């Protein structure tokens, strides 16, 4: 773990951006959107999930300045597109977290693993108008804040002897249960007994944010709700960040390194984001001199596509997907809920693929398509896991199975 005040991520990101911009060999294409990775499939060679030597030759990338898709060839490609939280209506993740890289690799027939293990942060600020949801850090519970229902009654001790300080998955499930039993949209976090000095010194951002929506946390309980926060699964990689597709590496939240198992501990995304990026870089440097560019890759084919003039077809499907995922594939799952989600998603999938094939490409349709692929993977992996383990909790299979499963093999 590394920490810099309460802005660790920002600090790391800013330093990396400065270093990358100063490097003479690095060209940054801002706001470009990777659409597909290029493999032998694009050379007209049939590729299936059983093909042993699927090879990545680069990526097709949407250029927002020309509104065209350009072909970027590479010897080594690194997938690091972040999380998937946006497939859920309520998430702490930035809006870019649409699972693009995972969806691209899955479509290219690469191995994707552990998608059923989605971590929900128990306490995001309940403010339905705002997306992403603002995170109320665990540190506030560490400082003594207590989860309560709308009558001000503490409820966590019913679920776990550690009360409000139980692990994330237990707290998130307990809140989900309270909300379902009482039919309410949120619960409360009570920090009113913590001294003002401690609040102002240690939680100035939370204080200011809550005040901006009319909640003075030194006097009022904070309305909170669980929100999708981290994907433990993703593109299956080895200990060097290398995926099942030759010359394709992955790191960060979109990679499945196995480090988080079925239930990630807080504060350790740097393992996947920094340690694995470094290891992948070492391996790529060692490897890339022996790799040739593939020169006969065709340009992106736009034949027969027209401008989609009805954005509602995309925006409505996106909302539907988020509602389905929240209601049926959230913190607590069951066979019936998963099957229902699967059936609904199939309709969205067919409609979106149809629209995608006909439309001139825009980022919104690409992201929707990726989000539907991610929803499908989460549901499918959840259906294949006949047990409750870590972040995957099923009403139909309580408890662990003895042997660990590989959901990838079941696909």
Ligand X SMILES: Cc1cc2nc3c(=O)[nH]c(=O)nc-3n(C[C@H](O)[C@H](O)[C@H](O)COP(=O)(O)OP(=O)(O)OC[C@H]3O[C@@H](n4cnc5c(N)ncnc54)[C@H](O)[C@@H]3O)c2cc1C
Q: Report the chain's C-alpha Rg in angstroms.
A: 22
Number of residues that bind ligand X (CB under 6 A): 21
Which residue from 81, 86, 123, 164 is in contact with ligand X, where contact means CB under 6 A?
81
State the minimum distance, in angstroms, from the CB of residue 80 to ligand X.
Answer: 5
**Stretch touching ligand X by CB under 6 A, among 252-260, 321-329, 353-361, 371-379:** 252-260
Nearer to ligand X, 100 or 387 (CB): 100
Alpha-carbon distance of 10 to 16, in angstroms, equals 10
| 135 in contact with ligand X (CB under 6 A) | yes
State the minimum distance, in angstroms, from the CB of residue 133 to ligand X.
Answer: 8
**Stretch touching ligand X by CB under 6 A, among 63-71, 91-99, 148-156, 216-224:** 91-99
> Rule CB under 6 A: which of 99-128 touch ligand X?
100
- 50 is a catalytic site residue: no
Which residue from 169, 190, 242, 253 is in contact with ligand X, where contact means CB under 6 A?
253
Which residue from 96, 265, 336, 360 is in contact with ligand X, where contact means CB under 6 A?
96
**Stretch touching ligand X by CB under 6 A, among 42-50, 90-98, 350-358, 379-387:** 90-98
| 33 in contact with ligand X (CB under 6 A) | yes
| 164 in contact with ligand X (CB under 6 A) | no
Which residue's Cβ lies closest to ligand X?
Answer: 252
Which residue from 58, 82, 241, 330 is in contact with ligand X, where contact means CB under 6 A?
82
Rounded to 5 degrees, φ, ψ at 379 are -65, -45
Which residue from 58, 89, 252, 390 is in contact with ligand X, where contact means CB under 6 A?
252
| 138 in contact with ligand X (CB under 6 A) | no
Nearer to ligand X, 81 or 407 (CB): 81
State the minimum distance, in angstroms, from the CB of residue 235 to ligand X.
Answer: 11
| 142 in contact with ligand X (CB under 6 A) | no
Q: Which of 50, 75, 107, 168 is flagged as catalytic?
A: 168
State the minimum distance, in angstroms, from the CB of residue 102 to ligand X.
Answer: 10
| 178 in contact with ligand X (CB under 6 A) | no
| 234 in contact with ligand X (CB under 6 A) | no
Residue 124 burial (10 A CB sphere; 0-12, 13-18, 19+) = buried
**Stretch touching ligand X by CB under 6 A, among 160-168, 263-271, 292-300, 345-353:** 263-271
State the minimum distance, in angstroms, from the CB of residue 103 to ligand X.
Answer: 9
Nearer to ligand X, 9 or 128 (CB): 9
Nearer to ligand X, 37 or 383 (CB): 37
Which residue from 34, 102, 235, 248 is in contact with ligand X, where contact means CB under 6 A?
34
Rounded to 5 degrees, φ, ψ at 341 are -60, -40
Q: Three-state SS across the chain? A: CCCCCCCHHHHHHHHHHHHHHHCCCCCCCCCCEEEEEECHHHHCCCCCCCCCCCECCEEEEEECCCCEEEEEECCCEEECCCCCHHHCCCECCCCCCCCHHHHHHHHCCCCEECCCCEEEEEEEECCCCCCCCCECCHHHHHCCCEEECCCCCECHHHCCCCHHHCCHHHHHHHHHHHHHHHCCCCEEEECCCCCHHHHHHHCHHHHHHHHHCCCCCCCCCEEEEEEEEEECCEEECCCCCECCCECEEECHHHEECCCCCCCCCCCCHHHHHHHHHHHHHHHHHHHHCCCCCCCCCCCCCCCCCECCCCCHHHHHHHHHHHHHHHHHCCCCECHHHHHHHHHHHHHHHHHHHHHHHHECCCHHHHHHHHHHHHHHHHHHHHHHCCCCECCECECCCCCCCCCCCCHHHHC
Binding track, positions 265-284, relative to ligand X; x by CB under 6 A: --xxxx--x-----------
Q: Identify any residues that bridge with 234 across adjacent strands, giving them in sequence order.
A: 113
Handedness of CA 313, 316, 365, 335 (dihedral sign): negative
Nearest to 387 by CA among 344, 333, 341: 333
**Stretch touching ligand X by CB under 6 A, among 78-86, 183-191, 211-219, 287-295:** 78-86
Task: State the residues that interact with ligand X by CB under 6 A.
Answer: 9, 33-34, 80-83, 92-93, 96, 100, 135, 230, 252-254, 267-270, 273
Could you list the active site residues? 168
């Amino acid at each position: 773990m590394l920490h810099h005040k309460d802005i660790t991520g920002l600090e790391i990101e800013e330093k990396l951006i400065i270093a990358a911009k100063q490097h003479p060999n690095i060209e940054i294409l801002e706001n470009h959107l990777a659409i597909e990775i290029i493999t032998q499939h694009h050379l007209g060679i049939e590729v299936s999930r059983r093909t042993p030597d699927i090879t990545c030759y680069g990526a097709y990338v949407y250029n927002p300045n020309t509104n065209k898709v350009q072909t970027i060839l590479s010897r080594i490609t690194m997938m690091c597109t972040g999380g998937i939280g946006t497939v859920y209506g309520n998430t702490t993740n930035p809006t870019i977290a649409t699972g693009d890289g995972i969806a691209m690799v899955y479509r290219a027939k690469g191995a994707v693993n552990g998608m059923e293990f989605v971590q929900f942060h128990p306490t995001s600020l309940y403010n339905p108008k705002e997306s992403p949801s603002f995170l109320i850090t665990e540190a506030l519970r560490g400082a003594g804040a207590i989860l309560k229902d709308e009558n001000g009654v503490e409820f966590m001790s019913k679920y776990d002897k550690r009360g409000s300080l139980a692990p994330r998955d237990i707290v998130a499930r307990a809140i989900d249960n309270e909300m379902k039993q009482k039919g309410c949209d949120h619960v409360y976090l009570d920090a009113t007994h913590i001294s003002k000095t401690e609040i102002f010194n240690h939680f100035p951002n939370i204080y200011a944010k809550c005040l901006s929506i009319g909640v003075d946390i030194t006097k009022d309980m904070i309305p909170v709700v669980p929100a999708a926060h981290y994907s433990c699964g993703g593109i299956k990689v080895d200990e060097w960040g290398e995926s099942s597709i030759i010359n394709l590496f992955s790191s960060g939240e979109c990679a499945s390194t196995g480090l988080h198992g079925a239930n990630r501990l807080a504060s350790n995304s740097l393992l996947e984001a920094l340690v694995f990026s470094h290891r992948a870089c070492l391996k790529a440097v060692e490897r890339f001199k022996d790799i040739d560019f593939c020169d006969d890759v065709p340009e992106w084919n736009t034949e027969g596509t027209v401008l989609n003039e009805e954005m509602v077809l995309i925006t409505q499907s996106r909302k539907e997907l988020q509602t389905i995922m929240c209601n049926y594939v959230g913190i607590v799952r069951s066979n019936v809920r998963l099957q229902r989600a699967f059936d609904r998603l199939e309709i969205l999938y067919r409609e979106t693929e149809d629209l995608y094939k006909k439309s001139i490409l825009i980022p919104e349709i690409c992201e929707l398509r990726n989000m539907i692929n991610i929803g499908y993977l989460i549901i499918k992996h959840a259906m294949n896991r006949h047990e409750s383990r870590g972040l995957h909790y099923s009403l139909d299979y309580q408890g662990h199975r003895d042997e660990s499963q590989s959901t990838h093999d079941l696909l």
